[in-house]
Structure 1
């Protein structure tokens, strides 16, 4: 007898059901071991990053396997929002997709089409061969695939902030995620994520998402920043990354026993 399987809740469903901001961590080391450690931390969601980390299809798949025993929502950031890349990651079984560098509503619409099967989109059909449908063990996957996928697009440029209302209005965009680092760079403030103009752009975009009735997430590895954005109404916040935590904590531990001046050490 064939198995009849169901898929985990999406990030969209978890956000809708939560009465607080969901707290997330990045897993950037491309390791199933560290991904599992992060997933077992008690956080609500974990980002597997294929944009700025040495992650490919095989390593993301291994990390999805390692995290599957934990009650977290894996969110996978693809390198870029092109149709082929999105198809490959979705076929891996990625249910929660984060697409970086979405600067316009037109771009968001194309990404939505890449996520959906025809006639509403252009996603290639390979469910019998793919983990997404558990090799056709998920009943009626093709008819209900949209319900099993949550799409978040990343607002991380001045152009995206300017077009945020139209991006938020795109059918199929379930949430936005704000990246202060690239946003600051696009505003001519490279490395100044806490510049008042950048902070106001982030806060203003969160307010616009609330007005549109869609969740807004934000990257905030400094605790005070995370607290500010949660208080402003962010629905999900990334508060740290495995590689950054490892770097800072190993530096601090060595410095403690060598007597190094803490002021010389790098900060988050």
Structure 2
């Protein structure tokens, strides 16, 4: 059970992450063949449920992508369940304090590092049933989301929690919490200062920073800033962007006939 995200991070390079909002194994299969290093099933804001997550994992398994999940909330039942279903990384929203970060890590890790219940019903297929437990704590990634003023204030305390492999910026909620319009690709000086602060803190703690982006150009820019995991939109957003561009091109080149 080797985690490709960990290997890429160890090499000093950045992970390009796909994102699945559509509850379809076929969509997952298409995204998994598109060159991403990892693919995340979104159980928080996507139209996914647990069974569609498993179907997405099954469709992705033939391809060299690391399966991850954004859970709906910091709740041990769903965190353990997505790991049992085969997630190799868990992104958890709205982690605002050290206590919440500790609870998140505890839910992700088997004893003695945490309190995760044993029963890797599908995850055990990544290795022998008797060996999954010996590698899971090291290979599964705990990635709390930093997306509020409170989280920024408590950043160093959150990063001090053992077991955290990375943090993930939610730009929309982060800006929203500062009274700004919720959007992904942010240029406000005060937000860019927060990014700089976060990246420096992560570097100090030996932790990798990730961010959700709304365009390939901003994703590349984020890598230049120092982010080491960038998500490019999601499957529905990519489909809509391509569809709108195609329709617009047809109407333009049809010279008013369409």
Question: Considering the TM-score relative to the shorter chain, is it more than 0.5?
Answer: yes
Query: Please, which of 139, 143, 161 is the counterpart of residue 152 of structure 2?
Result: 161
Paired residues of 1:180 and 1:202 also in contact (CA < 8 A): no
Q: Distance in 2 between matches of 1:81 and 1:11?
A: 22
Aligned residues: 251
Matches within 5 A, 1:1-268: 7-9=1-3, 11-16=5-10, 18-127=11-120, 130-134=121-125, 137-191=128-182, 193-259=186-252
Q: Distance in 2 between matches of 1:22 and 1:141?
A: 24
- Post-superposition shift, 1:136? 8.3
Paired residues of 2:110 and 2:118 also in contact (CA < 8 A): yes
SS at match of 2:168: strand
Q: Structure 1: any 5+ residue segments left out of the alignment?
A: 1-6, 261-268
Q: Distance in 1 between matches of 2:92 and 2:156?
A: 17
**More displaced stretch, 138-147 vs 159-168:** 138-147
Report Cα offsets for 1:18-63 as digits up to 9, x if no partner: 3321112212112111111111111211121111011111100010
Change (3 A) 1:145 1:21: closer
SS at match of 1:250: helix
Q: Distance in 1 between matches of 2:236 and 2:206?
A: 34
Report the aligned-residue RMSD: 1.9
Q: Distance in 2 between matches of 1:118 and 1:173?
A: 16
- Post-superposition shift, 1:10? 5.1
TM-score after normalising by structure 2: 0.90
TM-score after normalising by structure 1: 0.87
Q: Distance in 2 between matches of 1:184 and 1:145?
A: 34
Paired residues of 2:142 and 2:165 also in contact (CA < 8 A): yes
- Post-superposition shift, 1:135? 9.6
Q: Structure 2: any 5+ residue segments left out of the alignment?
A: 254-258
